[in-house]
Structure 1
Amino acid sequence: MTRVKYAVVFLFAAAAFFQAGCDIPLGTPEERMFKAAKNDYEHHTRRLLDQGISPNITDSAGWTPVMWAAAKDNVDTLKLLLDRGGLLELRNKKGETALHIAARWSRLDTVRFLISRGARTEALDRLAWPPMMWASMQGRTDVVTALAEGGANIEFKDSNGNTPLMMAANRGREATVKELLRLGVNPAKANKSGQTAAEIARQANYPQLADIIEGREPSKTQPRRKGKR
């Protein structure tokens, strides 16, 4: 039998295996739990939990099944894991919670769900940043809104005195800057270097964004630089 035929036979066998409702066939029970969480295999997750596999096991990076489900926006599997004892506030080796991960990966539905289940919006990672700082820096505007609606501090200051508005301004995240301003941040605040968000935007070569922060109409003669993605 050729390699192609072997591959076809294997695929049909694997499909039949899953259709029969059997467990994920490869790896240890713990490895299968991570695969199920990543791929939103709710049925397999339930079976592994019934077999006694903890929802709080960790991989080499300190990630739990809860974190992987959050990263992949697998809300149904995430709900199951939490209902069966999964912990929201466990940290990976970067100090991130599931909410940090969902915010960084722009998983809006998961962010809202985690907040509804009591996830701490002010939890700090190893950089002493809450999810709001990451969402602002990366231009995750909808996530910024959801975090703020969930009680996150829009005026948070890190060890250098930088705020979410400053992080968004430094990266040229115009939509996020506008949303933070709409939410009521104080654009006049300065960091420990004495810089305001507008000054940071100008230094980063976003002069029109600086004008927006200062409440002025952006000058049409100024060069406009696109925000980083």
Structure 2
Amino acid sequence: IQFKAHVNIIDEEDSLTPLIVAAGRGYVAFVELLIGAGAEVNACDKFGSTALIWAARRGYKPIIELLLDAGAELDAVGMYGSTALMMATRGNFIGVVKLILSREPNINTVDQNGLSPLAIAAREGYVEIASMFIQLGAYVNAVDRFGNSILAGAVRSGNVEIVKMLLEKHADVNARDSENRTALHLAIDKSFMDIAVALLERKPNLEIRNKDGDTPLLRAVKNRHVGFCQLLVNSGAKVSATDNAGDNVLHVALRARSRKITQSLLLNPSDSRLLYRPNKLGHTPYSIDQENP
């Protein structure tokens, strides 16, 4: 720089500038020197990532502060459609997220997969960061390009705190993904009892069927989970529901030789009539039981 070196020279292979390299490697003094010498703070590499995005990806808070004070574009979009806020969220860099939020970025922007910063935090189980976004009014019912809701991502992470926060802000408990599964289906498949209880407190539709025709109760029976079966029956799930093969829960339970589940499903004496209801192949739960004594 002292000898008039070009501070904005661009690497021919990756379009990296000295400032992008310094920011991505955490060289605070170099970043400060380059900015002072007139480096372009919003120059980007061949993927569109700026020095700010590179610094956020690594969690370099002092560098991010220098870049923002020098006029770095807060919502610049780089590789995979990610912003600096998304990069900081993915790394669970809480201090960096707080700093960026203090500059009032767009918290509802999405990357190329349709994930917002809140969606990223929810699926990673980052409670503190998710809480910050929710408190700032981030959209809780956005879906990604695969049809997954933010609530579904939180369920998959297994973090009941985030699930409850989303539900308190009226996340759609009946939202379905590309396979027609609800958050309750996912909780059952993951065996997350605490999350299932939290979802049931919001009175979801218990009769939504996934692509295989399974209601949450059918999923619980197929997973041989007695606790979920009891919980769902007590919550009003219909024992008479059938899957795409015409099987009701008793077909499934007796085929699996599960007496405990069968007993939990027959708490209501009137449901015993389902023992004689045939599936699409003409088999009844009773006939299945007789064939496999």
Band the TM-score falls in, shorter-chain normalisation: 0.7 to 0.9
Q: Name the aligned partner's letter for residue 55 of structure 1.
A: L
Whether 1:200 and 2:180 are equivalent positions in the alignment is: no
Aligned match of 1:119: 138
Whether 1:175 and 2:194 are equivalent positions in the alignment is: yes
Aligned match of 2:106: 87
Which of 209, 212, 215 is matched with 2:234 structurally?
215
CA distance in 1, matches of 2:160, 2:50: 34
The secondary structure found in structure 2 opposite 1:152 is coil
Q: Is the contact between residue 174 and residue 209 of structure 1 (CA under 8 Å) also seen in structure 2?
A: yes
Which of 118, 133, 136 is matched with 1:99 structurally?
118
Aligned match of 1:76: 95
Deviation string for 1:194-224 (max 9, x for gaps)? 42211112223434323332239xx9967xx
Q: Is the contact between residue 75 and residue 113 of structure 1 (CA under 8 Å) also seen in structure 2?
A: no
Scaled by the length of structure 2, the TM-score of the pair is 0.59
Aligned length: 203
Aligned match of 2:204: 185
Structure with bigger gyration radius: 2
Matches within 5 A, 1:27-42: 32-42=51-61
Compared CA separation, residues 184 and 47, structure 1 to 2 (3 A): same
Q: Name the aligned partner's letter for residue 94 of structure 1.
A: N
The secondary structure found in structure 2 opposite 1:136 is helix
Identity of aligned residues (%): 23
CA distance in 1, matches of 2:58, 2:164: 27
Deviation at residue 44 of structure 1 after TM alignment: 1.7
Whether 1:130 and 2:127 are equivalent positions in the alignment is: no
The secondary structure found in structure 2 opposite 1:214 is helix
CA distance in 2, matches of 1:210, 1:51: 59
Which of 151, 156, 166 is matched with 2:175 structurally?
156
CA distance in 2, matches of 1:140, 1:210: 22
Comparing 201-210 with 168-177, which one deviates more in the overlay? Answer: 201-210
Unpaired runs of at least 5, structure 2: 1-24, 34-39, 42-48, 236-257, 262-293
Unpaired runs of at least 5, structure 1: 1-13, 223-229
Compared CA separation, residues 67 and 206, structure 1 to 2 (3 A): same
Scaled by the length of structure 1, the TM-score of the pair is 0.74
Deviation at residue 136 of structure 1 after TM alignment: 1.6
Matches within 5 A, 1:41-80: 41-80=60-99
Comparing 31-40 with 45-54, which one deviates more in the overlay? Answer: 31-40
Q: Name the aligned partner's letter for residue 131 of structure 1.
A: I
Aligned match of 1:110: 129
Q: Is the contact between residue 137 and residue 173 of structure 1 (CA under 8 Å) also seen in structure 2?
A: no
Q: Is the contact between residue 52 and residue 67 of structure 2 (CA under 8 Å) also seen in structure 1?
A: yes
RMSD of Structure 2 on Structure 1 (CA): 3.2
Bigger RCO of structures 1 and 2 (CA < 8 A, at least 6 apart): 1
